[in-house]
Chain A
Amino acid sequence: MTTMVTAPERTGTHKSPLTPRKPRNRKSVVLTLVTGIALIYSLIPLVWLLINSTKTQDGLASSFGLWFDDGHFALWDNIRETLTYNDGIFVRWLGNTLFYVIVGAGGATFLAVLAGYGLAKFDFPGKKGVFAIVIGAVAVPGTALAVPTFLMFSKMGLTNTPWAVIIPSLITPFGLYLMWTFTEQAIPTEIIEAARVDGAGEFRIFFRLAVPLLAPGIVTVLLFSMVATWNNYFLPLIMLKDPDWYPLTVGLNAWNAQAQTAGGDVVFNLVITGSMLTILPLLAAFLLLQRYWQSGLAAGSVKE
């Protein structure tokens, strides 16, 4: 397992994966402290979110932002209220988000792995064209496409349905690029040739032989498309009118905007607790799958 994960990272650039890297360096307290500034900058807002999810609506206003509100630990109340407010709409949004992530990010990863393998291991008519178009598309601002996509989808009757959010999420040019470079390094063409000689079909070779070897790359692409789909805001914002189809991001902002409308219910404590619940699954995924996606990213960067 270990060799499989780290091997692509080192292909052709390192003398031996077993040699510990630069044992000559002594640790530096000064450098640690200076870099610590960036660490604090990155973590303080998350700490703020965690602390303030334990406060009531009144406590938010009356207590210091980076410390707890004395005597009022309302975290469990906040979580309960977040999950039940407005007939439990938050749970519905969570379900929608999970659905968009599973179908959208799962589908995007599948298409990218399939196409990346095709580009890396086959020569076919129009290959150069495919490559040029996809690389060119990376430079097209995605959100600039959103308005025309909306108009097109509304002609097709797709707006205000989950498909309007899922279909555009199915394409990740970055994922395709990563899988293409990853496949070239991780799968020797001789193995494929040998399997062909043994009479295996192309898709059998792909699923039985290639997919296991591509695991770190697949996890990386999956994780990054999960983040993109989970965090998607602009697309669902314009595509969906019905709050029942909202993902968490659009729903949370609707709660926050409520305070600005006349007579709207001010629920900042729920916005904060809901935000915390929204980011927890992703932070957990990144922490638990570290070794996979970090080696996957490294392999992608070898080729620039």
Chain B
Amino acid sequence: MADIAVPRRRSWTGWRFVGPFMAVFALVFLAPIVYSIYLSLFKNRLIGGNSFVGLDNYQQALTDPNFWSSVGRVSIFLVVQVPIMLFIALLVALAIDSGRLYGKSFFRISIFLPYAVPAVVATLMWGFIYGTQFGLVGNINDAFNITLPDPLSPSLILTSIGNIVTWEFVGYNMLIFYSALRTIPTTLYESAEIDGAGELRIIRSIKLPAIRGALVIATIFSIIGSFQLFNEPSILQNVAPNAITTYFTPNLYAYSLSFSGQQYNYSATVAIVMGVITMVIAYVVQLRGTKES
């Protein structure tokens, strides 16, 4: 589409604007990718030092039960948390866009606010709230003399993390959907009403198809976010050391391998394998999302 808007002759002038970005981009995106591929082909042994091992590290990663258990965990997270979060975000966006809410700008800005809260603060805050000692969960237990299930126990920790992530990003996704809804011409609604279409029919036949692009983009970003899960489990480790292992998520695993285990080569391999898995899934979602329209 850019080519239509720019009937200019080709010249190198554009590089003066794009060049600085690309230079830094090469340093912080391309170089680390190349370097980690290089690292993944070597192995550092106590005896013999650094040596080229070909695809040995990849073979190790593909048969590593810890790695696959972390991939399984983020996959469950992805399949459960992402649809719930996007569904709530969509409902709120449709409600605000319908114009039937009292104080709709208050709703819009308030639900978006958690996005501005750092993941660290969000996790510390929820970590306190989850606490059975002096958290809100503990308060409720004392007040009603009951024992709620401990949100920080191994069986519930993934759900608790899901809640934190949902809290952080519902508003952000809502805003993306809402912005897309706002671009639908009102004339479409008017003619639909003349045809006797109800609100639900308008949502199904006009609104949802119109914001398909936004839905696909939000889904892809959420998939990437799920596979990158690190901050929340890493910080909750302080309050739930038994529930969160060093290989709880792929990123946490790569981090532990590097900084506790000094296994840099293998850590780089894990990061690459995870990056490839993420890209493939994001690409498939994008293809499916755009094909059907």
Interface, chain A (partner B; CB < 8 A): 9, 13-15, 19, 21-22, 24-29, 31-32, 34-35, 38-39, 41-43, 45-46, 48-49, 52, 60-62, 64-66, 111-112, 114-115, 117-127, 130, 133-134, 136-137, 139-145, 147-152, 167-168, 170-171, 176, 180, 184, 189, 202-203, 206, 227, 230-231, 233-234, 238, 248-250, 252-253, 256-257, 259-260, 268, 271-272, 275, 278-279, 282-283, 285-287, 290, 294, 297-298, 300-304
Q: B267 in the interface, Cβ–Cβ < 8 Å?
A: yes
Q: How far is the CA of A38 from the CA of B89 in the complex (A)?
A: 9
Task: Rank and list the top 9 A-B pairs by shortest CB-CB distance, nearest first.
Answer: A118-B17, A122-B14, A304-B213, A124-B14, A115-B21, A148-B36, A231-B118, A148-B32, A118-B18
- From B282, which residue of chain A is reached at the shortest CB distance? A139
- Contact between chains at A123 and B10 (CB < 8 Å): yes
Q: B58 in the interface, Cβ–Cβ < 8 Å?
A: no
- From A121, which residue of chain B is reached at the shortest CB distance? B6
- From A129, which residue of chain B is reached at the shortest CB distance? B22
- From A297, which residue of chain B is reached at the shortest CB distance? B179
Which of B115, B129, B228, B230 is close to A45, meaning CB atoms less than 8 Å apart? B129
Which of A41, A52, A271, A286 is close to B116, meaning CB atoms less than 8 Å apart? A286
- Contact between chains at A111 and B20 (CB < 8 Å): yes
- Contact between chains at B29 and A145 (CB < 8 Å): yes
What are 15 A-B contacts defined by CB distance under 8 Å? A21-B186, A39-B110, A45-B125, A65-B134, A120-B5, A122-B14, A133-B25, A139-B220, A139-B224, A141-B274, A144-B228, A144-B275, A148-B39, A259-B238, A278-B118
**Residues in A whose Cβ lies below 8 Å from that of B268:** 147-148, 151
| Number of chain B interface residues as a range | 35 or more
**Residues in A whose Cβ lies below 8 Å from that of B95:** 31, 34-35
**Residues in A whose Cβ lies below 8 Å from that of B134:** 60-62, 65
* Smallest beta-carbon distance A74→chain B, Å: 15
